[in-house]
Amino acid sequence: MSMKFERGSFAEAQMMIVGGGHATTSPGRGLWRPTRVLGRLIFLSVLFSQCSYGGQLSVDEILKKVSDTYQNLQSYRFVVEQRAQFVAVGSIDSGTAAENSMPGGTISPDFHKETVSQIELAEVRPGKIRLLVKDGKNDVLLVSDGQTTWTYLPKLKQYTEELRPAGNAEMSNLGEIRNLLVNRFRGLSKYGSTATLGRESQIRVGGVKINCYVVKIQTPQLTHELWVDKERFIVLRSKRTPLRSQEGIAMETTITVNTTEASVNSQLADSLFKFTPPEKATKVQSLNQPGKSR
């Protein structure tokens, strides 16, 4: 929490407390001046309380600024790393497990899996879109200049070219990624009643340390933690954790999104929204990505 003083005010306060912190006498009277000391202490308490809290935003104000920022985006580019952790938690009484012949004990699961995806999402309204998703299995690139949309699957070296907006493009998960990085933050202001403000933190983005507010939002089934850039009011890290089941065994999925690059309402290069087919890439009528249904 920052403390701000006018020039000379701290020195004056020190002189007041030193001058009034001891028994003083008037010439020829030898009497205490306790009321003067008390008055000065009260003044200092008011001064320090105003300096400590005067510049601090409330959690409602922070969420409102974040909502406004995302609602007013005209252009943006976010590069993030998404980590999804899948863990089986909880336990059951072994007496309820038919395959267990040793009643009286418990069975606890031992399952943990993590997936990592690299995501780039850029947009200039209206119509220009770039989406690149790399997860090691189903990599996909979507590019649109507002009139023509290309979707490319690097592993298959195949791409489609469609004379229509990117919103109708196949195989891209565009709506899901937009919601993850942009759309869900537009309505944050309505969660002020369930949000709390934690201690401020610094996170590193692109080699630069950025000061952040840390906001926690509790919903009936999930806990959301958001690291909000104090200058730009964009979310640089988010973590979604499910509430733990009270009984039985459940699969918990924790999603953490860390931003590595962020640009908002600035000019983006036209090359981001153009597609040049790589060497040996084949143009096809439709894409059939392995492991995904169309």
Prior bond of 242 cis (ω within 30°): no
Residue, of 52 and 172, whose pLDDT is higher = 172
pLDDT in tens, 238-275: 999 887 655 656 668 899 999 999 999 999 999 999 99
pLDDT band at 91 (very low <50, low <70, confident <90, very high): low
Which residues are within 8 A (CB) of 260 and not within 5 positions of it... i.e. 6 or more apart? Answer: 79, 80, 81, 205, 206
Which CATH topology does 60-283 take? outer membrane lipoprotein receptor (LolB), chain A (2.50.20)
pLDDT band at 110 (very low <50, low <70, confident <90, very high): low
Contact 112, 241 (CB under 8 A): no
pTM for the whole thing?
0.71
**Which CA distances in Å does 260 have to 16, 45, 111, 119, 263?**
50, 43, 29, 10, 11
* pLDDT attached to residue 136: 81
Q: Give domain limits for the chain.
A: 9-53, 60-283
Amino acid at 286: S
Mean pLDDT for the stretch of residues 223-246: 89
Task: Give the three-state DSSP class for 193.
Answer: helix
